[in-house]
Homo-oligomer: A and B are copies of this chain.
């Protein structure tokens, strides 16, 4: 007996990746898909790759109707929109996996500061769980609302986290450089902006959101939780000319002398048993290629004795572990299935 699910906001790249995964997930049946703009259109009018694989049509978003039709809803909506749908879905006892930013910051004040608008669903926010399984597996399993993390926070927290948890890092002076393919980096919604034109993004490379990117407080929240004290990080995101892939390079001051082998031992212990985090052997470094179209996060750490810093590196697919696939991992946890269900396909190479 398959669980009925829906995807709200399926006309963006994150929604598309959810469809790709959910259409062949062994335990779910995708029964509804929404898009305001495309309401009434068959899925394959927007997505020719899905021709012949589904007979669904886009509907307009109606949370009440969704709540009656399905047990679990993925929200791939712009932020501010999720806050309208979640209260309705919760009232009906439906599970929600929200891929927007609306339920990620536990501090409503921080939300208001970074998103320039007050949060409208305090109850939902209190109930929501930050959906990074490697940190919050247990509470995710029993949550009704899971806030699926932003792509940069996934990469940064998995790359740096073990150092802070183990007390190997100092909390000041952490610098994080994020590099995202174009399906992340603000273009998830297939936004038609000149910056994202092929002719502009191809053979080009740039930073954006310098010192003001909204994933910053999310990274700080989770790293602070791991460190047991409040941390501030310097985070700079970049737009890279590739479709999928998010690479994180973090420079973290070490609390005391440590070799690369010491640091890797710590990472291996922290991530032992994790199905989707691969700590690379010494001498190997992550590449976004190796995780493309998958839920893997490949991680490496290198000690730099010259600077008394560690270089923490991770690679994810921004639509995979950085979004939709991680959302499916959350789904699996919430319904008690094998965490790998629907996520077994190896990364696509090349």
Residues on A facing B (Cβ under 8 Å): 13, 16, 19-20, 23-24, 47-53, 173, 175, 177, 179, 181-183, 187, 190, 192-194, 196-208, 210-211, 232-234, 236, 238, 240-245, 247, 249, 251, 253, 278, 280, 284-294, 296, 298, 302-304, 306-307, 309, 311, 313, 315, 344-350
Supply 10 A–B pairs (Cβ within 8 Å), ascending by A.
A52-B278, A53-B346, A179-B205, A179-B238, A192-B194, A196-B199, A204-B289, A206-B286, A206-B315, A238-B249
**What CA separation (Å) do A290 and B203 show in the bound complex?**
11
Contact across chains for B233 and A344 when beta carbons are under 8 A apart: no
A-B interface, 5 closest residue pairs, ranked by CB to CB distance from nearest = A49-B347, A198-B201, A211-B304, A177-B177, A48-B290
Using known A-B contacts A177-B177, A346-B23, determine if residue A203 contacts B289 with beta carbons closer than 8 Å.
yes
**What CA separation (Å) do A24 and B346 show in the bound complex?**
8
Q: Nearest chain B CB to A308's CB is how many angstroms away?
A: 9
Q: Nearest chain B CB to A292's CB is how many angstroms away?
A: 7
Residues of B within 8 A of A23 (CB): 346
Residues of B within 8 A of A47 (CB): 349
Closest residue of B by beta carbon distance from A294: B49
